[in-house]
């Protein structure tokens, strides 16, 4: 094996080394650091040699002073006291004697040699060798609450990885030099680095690595659609299942929080500039964190009585525990972000008024106006928008009625219209609050379901029915004006539409009626009009969303930025965070640049 | 936290008036707008129209009828007590301009809101005819305040215990028959009453604005619980209203939706008593 091979090796590979005679490990753990330990001597002085077991960390420690070029007289196993020196071969680099040991990459042991000349390089394995002896590790599953049990509670469904499963999963990462996964992440988390830290058991460092680019890892690890982002591009995924990046992200974030290792970040030198963040959802939280870290004074305005936006009112407890959301918001508050609840921007304060008091504004109000389908009978009682249903259940805790005052919507036979994550959330909430039969009614086929695969899977496990290629056309009410049935029509898939998905076409004479007593309409949302009613000069596109410069997220009003669903229409948590990050960077550039300019102007005048 | 700085019981304790310290809202709120209020951490969010404000002293006035668990809880609060959350103002303000003679028709607790809007119409230079009604003398509120600025004021009670016996629609009809200079009817009260008012004014082809107050949760356009069909389109009271052209509102739907929630309200109150 040559040095070329070493260069090809997976960087920072952990080499578990064993004695070829007694098969005991050389690795010693001292104060959290791992070293391979040997006995030796130089000029008849006994010597202890410690060598880093990580590739590229070519540190060697000697218990007596050793100069580069000194020759170790022997290399001896500290456990069985036998010599490791090979009689057949010499160092390829310098011709000195080499010590032979066994290196394990899990189940297989192969010979490995080490030069006895102090300062000479390791002789190592080629990357291909490593691959050969690395047994394939399957993608690690997360243990989950049993479906039969969980339909009776709101506790989180997956329990998350243990340290053991996380480290096994981390070993599956190839540490690509040109990692594709990073490109798939809207905030470009340094995925290989944080995974490498996991395999080195440095979980809190891994969490901090993620936090360099993502302020909400515990949230994103749970709700990101990884299968269509980072994990979709994972090279391991070409031949087998991709590395479970999302689960690992969740693991380190949970580890950091549960082990109380979260520490306050370094906050940049304070400026006297003030930033207003409108909306405390994922986009707003990202901008608030980034700008506060850069030394700005951030005030976050929230219309509701609790912060978190969709993380609080939308995503149910069993998918994203509110304690996690609250923890993240408390963290921002500890960083110095001011939070003003019950402030409806556009009403309580207008954007113009904010501009008088703040140097930069970020609008991240989401797309919170629910769409209905304009069907006959949609006004009936027990026909809810997904927003109303989820807001009652999550924000107002109606599932705990009567402990909480907001009445719990009750249905025995529930139809959820739509096939996205929100539809799954509604269906799974309904089954948990006593519905006997819950059916997802979706107009396209299974392959087009926009929800995360994991959510569809969870819903199926919990006994949710799927009525695909079906669309409601009319609702019927009882004498109390509550919905009692719905008429549906079956669809078939026609030509692809502008979104690339095949357009559903109604099948003639396929109408049928379903008995139901509750309908949840989860067919998407549009832009909320409140902020625009008092900000007519904010430029919007044809669909009503805010127009921004995509490089900076700045709107038609200078120093007013926007991002998230209010710019793109309904999208994901992480995309809103990505937009927030771009906006924060641009805002900082503009505001700090402007400051320098002012200074120059001042100098020029004097 | 928002402190109650004044409390007044009206209509034998069935209607309560609170002045609540909320300087930011007081600065902004216009007649016709409302707030969303949550009494405590386990409370529900309820919409309440602002009946008055003092932007200099920094308080808003709300007047509410005790109908459910939350309003019953609110009645038990006293001056100095805190309300956890008050958010607003919400909704579009009433469209107040100088147009001439208008009739303001209010019933029950609706008079609380009516008087705020009526005052604004008067201040804008209109000739304001007020018609307010209640079930009986005890349930009548804000008569004095209305009389203070209305050019004419008629009071009706269902049982005749005060003012004219009958419904608010009777004197309104009389005015419509006698005068031909009425430019606008503005009405707030029970849905049934507003429906009747609209049915009559439709015949006279006089523009009629109604202020709706259906069930809502967030008040910011998010939940869609307050949807109402206006001119065959779904509108959200919280962001598109609460004022709508009464002749275009589908009152039949609205009444049905409302009756359903009234049953919920009773159940909720029952739980609170247990």
Mutating which of B41, B223, B249 best tests the A interface, going by the most A Cβ atoms within 10 A?
A: B223
* Residue A10 pLDDT > 80: no
Q: pLDDT digit string (tens) for B13-48?
A: 888 999 999 999 999 999 999 999 999 999 999 898
Pairing status of strand A413-417 against strand A518-521: parallel
Residue A51 C-alpha, separation from nearest chain B C-alpha, in angstroms: 59
Residues B63 and B185 in one domain: no
Residues B106 and B242 in one domain: yes
- For chain A, what is the mean pLDDT? 86
Average pLDDT over residues B184-203: 93
Is A482 close to B260, i.e. CB distance below 8 A? yes
Residue A410 contacts B where some CB pair is shorter than 8 Å: no
Q: Is the peptide bond before A316 cis (omega within 30 degrees of 0)?
A: no
Using a CB-CB cut-off of 8 Å, the residues of chain B touching A341 are: 85, 87
- The answer to the question of residue B221 being in a domain is yes
Is A405 close to B89, i.e. CB distance below 8 A? no
* Residue A5 pLDDT > 50: no
Residues B141 and B69 in one domain: no
In sign, the C-alpha dihedral spanning A586, A589, A590, A591 is positive
Number of domains composing chain B: 2
* Residue A598 pLDDT > 80: no
Pairing status of strand A483-496 against strand A274-278: unpaired
Q: What is the pLDDT of residue B81?
A: 94
Q: pLDDT digit string (tens) for B97-134?
A: 999 999 999 998 899 889 899 999 999 999 999 999 99
Q: What is the pLDDT of residue A98?
A: 85
How does residue A127 score in pLDDT terms, banded at 50, 70 and 90? Answer: very low
Residues B251 and B134 in one domain: yes
Residue A244 contacts B where some CB pair is shorter than 8 Å: no
Is A381 close to B86, i.e. CB distance below 8 A? no
Pairing status of strand B59-65 against strand B46-54: antiparallel
CATH at B172: 3.40.50.80
Same fold, A274-368+527-603 and A369-525: yes
How does residue A108 score in pLDDT terms, banded at 50, 70 and 90? Answer: low
Average pLDDT over residues A103-128: 62
Using a CB-CB cut-off of 8 Å, the residues of chain A touching B219 are: 344
CATH at B32: 2.40.30.10
The CATH H-level (homologous superfamily) assignment of domain A369-525 is FAD/NAD(P)-binding domain (3.50.50.60)
- The answer to the question of residue B207 being in a domain is yes
Which residues have a Cβ under 8 Å from the Cβ of A382 and sit 6 or more positions away? A409, A411, A482, A483, A517, A518, A519, B260
* Residue B143: HSE in the Cβ half-sphere, 13 Å Cα cutoff: 16
Mutating which of B70, B224, B252 best tests the A interface, going by the most A Cβ atoms within 10 A?
A: B224
* Residue A595 pLDDT > 70: no
Pairing status of strand A465-467 against strand B101-107: unpaired
- The answer to the question of residue B159 being in a domain is yes
Residue B65 C-alpha, separation from nearest chain A C-alpha, in angstroms: 18
What is the SS3 assignment for A454-504?
HHHHHHHHCCCEEECCEEEEEEEECCCCEEEEEEEEEEEEEEECCCCCEEE
* Residue A128 pLDDT > 60: no
How does residue A596 score in pLDDT terms, banded at 50, 70 and 90? Answer: very low
How does residue B11 score in pLDDT terms, banded at 50, 70 and 90? Answer: confident
Q: pLDDT digit string (tens) for A184-241?
A: 888 889 999 999 999 999 999 999 999 888 888 898 888 888 888 899 999 988 888 9
Using a CB-CB cut-off of 8 Å, the residues of chain A touching B55 are: none
Cβ count within 10 A of residue A369: 22
Residues B145 and B45 in one domain: no
Residues B114 and B240 in one domain: yes
More confident residue, A227 or A554: A554
Mutating which of A375, A377, A379, A480 best tests the B interface, going by the most B Cβ atoms within 10 A?
A: A379
| Lowest mean pLDDT, pick from A16-30, A278-292, B126-140, B171-185 | A16-30
Residue A510 C-alpha, separation from nearest chain B C-alpha, in angstroms: 27
Distances (CA, A) of B44 to A138, A311, A345, B62: 48, 19, 22, 17
Q: What is the pLDDT of residue B19?
A: 95
How far apart are the C-alpha atoms of A285 and A264, rounded to whole Å? 16
Q: Which residue of A has its CA nearest to B68?
A: A405
Residue B71 C-alpha, separation from nearest chain A C-alpha, in angstroms: 11
Residues B70 and B108 in one domain: no
Residues B143 and B38 in one domain: no
Is residue A114 within 8 A of residue A15, CB to CB? The reply is: no
Residues B179 and B118 in one domain: yes
Of B218, B221, B256, nearest to A481 by CB-CB distance is B256
Q: What is the pLDDT of residue A53?
A: 78
Assigned token pair, B263: 């049953």
Residue A355 C-alpha, separation from nearest chain B C-alpha, in angstroms: 17
Q: Is A509 left (phi over 0), alpha (psi -120 to 50) or beta?
A: left
Residues B236 and B145 in one domain: yes
Q: Which residue of A has its CA nearest to B256?
A: A481
Using a CB-CB cut-off of 8 Å, the residues of chain B touching A388 are: 217, 223-225
Q: Which of B42, B67, B90 is the last residue of a domain?
A: B90
CA A154 to the chain's CA centroid: 22
Q: Which residue of A has its CA nearest to B73?
A: A405
Residues B85 and B149 in one domain: no
Distances (CA, A) of B88 to A57, A392, A552, B115: 61, 19, 31, 20
Q: What is the pLDDT of residue A67?
A: 79
- The answer to the question of residue B267 being in a domain is no
Domains of chain A by residue range: 3-133, 147-258, 274-368+527-603, 369-525
Q: What is the pLDDT of residue A505?
A: 93
Residues B246 and B120 in one domain: yes
Residue A347 contacts B where some CB pair is shorter than 8 Å: yes
Of A343, A347, A388, nearest to B223 by CB-CB distance is A388
Bridge partner list, B127:
B101
DSSP 8-state symbol, A98? E
- The answer to the question of residue B270 being in a domain is no
Residue numbers of A between 143 and 162 with CB closer than 8 Å to B: none
At what angle are helices A453-461 and A421-432 packed, to 10 degrees?
A: 20
B264: exposed, middle or buried (Cβ count in 10 Å: 0-12, 13-18, 19+): middle
Residue A253: name the closest of A298, A288, A223 by CA. A223
Q: Which of B90, B112, B131 is the last residue of a domain?
A: B90
Is residue A247 within 8 A of residue A270, CB to CB? The reply is: no
Residue B174 C-alpha, separation from nearest chain A C-alpha, in angstroms: 35
CATH architecture of the domain A147-258 equals: Orthogonal Bundle (1.10)
How far apart are the C-alpha atoms of A344 and A304, rounded to whole Å? 8
Which residues have a Cβ under 8 Å from the Cβ of A585 and sit 6 or more positions away? A290
More confident residue, A63 or B170: B170
More confident residue, A466 or B263: A466
* Residue A436 pLDDT > 90: yes
Q: What is the pLDDT of residue B119?
A: 92
DSSP A369-409: EE-----BTTTSBTEEEHHHHHIIIIIS-GGGTTTSSSPPP
Q: Which of B90, B120, B137 is the last residue of a domain?
A: B90
- For chain B, what is the mean pLDDT? 89
DSSP 8-state symbol, A81? -
Options 3.50.50.60, 3.40.605.10, 1.10.260.40, 3.30.230.10; which CATH number does A274-368+527-603 get? 3.50.50.60
Pairing status of strand A560-562 against strand A360-363: parallel
Q: pLDDT digit string (tens) for B125-184?
A: 999 999 999 999 989 998 999 989 999 999 999 998 998 998 999 999 999 999 989 999
How far apart are the C-alpha atoms of A316 and A188, rounded to whole Å? 27
More confident residue, A94 or A167: A167
> Where would I find the beta strands (DSSP E) of A216-370?
274-278, 297-301, 338-340, 360-363, 369-370
How does residue B268 score in pLDDT terms, banded at 50, 70 and 90? Answer: low
Instruction: Quote the domain boundaries for residue B137.
Output: 101-258
């Amino acid at each position: 094996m040559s040095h070329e091979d070493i260069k090809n090796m997976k960087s920072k590979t952990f080499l578990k080394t064993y004695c070829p005679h007694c098969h005991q490990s050389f690795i010693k753990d001292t104060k959290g650091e791992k070293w391979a330990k040997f006995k030796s001597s130089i000029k008849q002085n006994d010597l202890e040699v410690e060598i880093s077991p990580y590739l590229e960390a070519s540190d060697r420690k000697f218990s007596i002073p050793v100069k580069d070029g000194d020759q170790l007289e022997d290399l001896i196993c500290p456990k069985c006291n036998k010599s490791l020196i090979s009689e057949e071969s010499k160092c390829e680099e310098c011709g000195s004697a080499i010590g032979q040991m066994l290196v394990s990459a899990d189940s297989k042991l192969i010979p490995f040699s080490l030069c006895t000349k102090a300062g000479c390089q390791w002789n190592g394995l080629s990357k291909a060798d490593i691959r050969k002896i690395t047994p394939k590790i399957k993608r690690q599953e997360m243990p989950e609450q049993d479906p039969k049990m969980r339909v009776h509670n709101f506790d989180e469904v997956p329990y998350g990885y243990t340290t053991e499963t996380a480290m096994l999963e981390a070993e599956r990462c190839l540490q690509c030099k040109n990692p594709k996964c990073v490109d798939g992440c809207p905030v470009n988390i340094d995925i290989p680095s944080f995974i490498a830290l996991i395999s080195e058991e440095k979980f809190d460092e891994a969490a901090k690595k993620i936090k360099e680019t993502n302020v909400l890892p515990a949230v994103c690890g749970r709700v990101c659609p990884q299968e269509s982002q980072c994990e979709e591009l994972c090279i391991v995924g070409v031949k087998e299942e991709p590395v479970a990046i999302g689960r690992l992200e969740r693991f380190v974030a949970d580890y950091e929080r549960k082990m109380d290792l979260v520490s306050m970040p370094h906050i940049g030198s304070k400026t006297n500039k003030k930033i207003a963040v409108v909306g405390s959802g994922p986009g707003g939280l990202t901008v608030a964190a980034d700008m506060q870290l850069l030394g700005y004074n951030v005030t976050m305005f929230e219309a509701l009585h609790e912060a978190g936006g969709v993380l609080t009112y939308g995503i149910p407890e069993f998918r994203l525990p509110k304690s996690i959301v609250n923890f993240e918001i408390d963290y921002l508050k500890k960083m110095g972000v001011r939070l003003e609840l019950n402030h409806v921007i556009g009403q309580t304060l207008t954007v113009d008024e904010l501009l008088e008091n703040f140097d930069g504004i970020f609008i991240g109000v989401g797309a919170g106006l629910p769409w209905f389908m304009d069907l006959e009978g949609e006004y009936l009682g027990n026909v809810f928008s997904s927003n109303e249903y989820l807001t009652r259940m999550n924000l107002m805790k109606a599932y705990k009625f009567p402990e909480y005052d907001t009445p719990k919507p009750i249905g025995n036979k529930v139809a959820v219209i739509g096939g996205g994550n929100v539809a799954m959330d509604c269906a799974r909430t309904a089954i948990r609050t006593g519905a006997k039969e819950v059916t997802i009614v979706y107009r396209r086929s299974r392959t087009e379901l926009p929800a995360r695969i994991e959510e569809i899977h969870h819903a199926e496990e919990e006994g949710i029915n799927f009525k695909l290629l079906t669309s409601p056309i009319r609702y019927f009410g009882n004498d109390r004006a509550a919905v009692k049935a719905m008429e549906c029509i079956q669809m078939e898939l026609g030509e692809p539409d502008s979104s690339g998905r095949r357009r559903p076409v109604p099948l003639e004479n396929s109408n049928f009626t379903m008995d139901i007593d509750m309908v949840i309409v989860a067919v998407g949302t549009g832009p909320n009009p409140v902020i625009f009613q008092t900000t007519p000069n904010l430029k919007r596109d044809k669909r009503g969303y805010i127009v921004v410069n995509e490089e900076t997220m700045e709107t038609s009003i200078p120093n007013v930025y926007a991002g998230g669903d209010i710019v793109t229409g309904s999208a994901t948590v992480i995309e809103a965070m990505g937009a927030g990050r771009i906006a924060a960077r641009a805002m900082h550039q503009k505001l700090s640049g402007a400051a320098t300019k002012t200074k120059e102007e001042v100098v020029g005048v004097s | 936290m928002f402190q109650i700085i004044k409390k007044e019981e009206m209509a034998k304790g069935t209607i309560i008036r609170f002045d609540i310290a909320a300087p930011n809202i007081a600065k902004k709120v216009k007649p016709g707008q409302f707030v969303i209020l949550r009494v405590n951490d386990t409370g529900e969010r309820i919409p309440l129209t602002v009946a008055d404000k003092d932007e200099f002293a920094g308080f808003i006035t709300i007047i509410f009828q005790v109908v459910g668990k939350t309003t019953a809880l609110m009645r038990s609060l006293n001056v100095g007590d805190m309300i956890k959350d008050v958010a607003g103002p919400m909704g579009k303000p009433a469209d107040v301009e100088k147009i001439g003679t208008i009739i303001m028709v209010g019933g029950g607790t609706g008079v609380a809101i009516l008087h705020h809007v009526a005052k604004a119409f008067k201040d804008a230079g209109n000739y304001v005819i007020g018609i307010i009604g209640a079930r009986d003398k005890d349930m009548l509120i804000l008569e004095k305040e209305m009389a203070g600025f209305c050019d004419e004021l008629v009071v009706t009670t269902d049982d005749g215990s005060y003012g004219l016996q009958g419904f608010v629609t009777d004197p309104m009809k009389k005015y419509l028959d006698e005068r031909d200079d009425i430019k606008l009817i503005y009405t707030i009260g029970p849905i049934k009453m507003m429906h009747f008012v609209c049915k009559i004014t439709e015949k006279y082809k006089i523009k009629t604005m109604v202020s709706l107050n259906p069930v809502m949760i967030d008040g910011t356009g998010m939940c869609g619980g307050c949807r109402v069909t206006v001119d065959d389109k779904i509108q959200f009271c919280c962001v598109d209203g609460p004022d709508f052209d009464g002749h275009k509102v589908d009152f039949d739907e609205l009444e049905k939706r409302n009756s359903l929630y009234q049953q919920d309200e009773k159940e909720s109150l029952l739980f609170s008593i247990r």
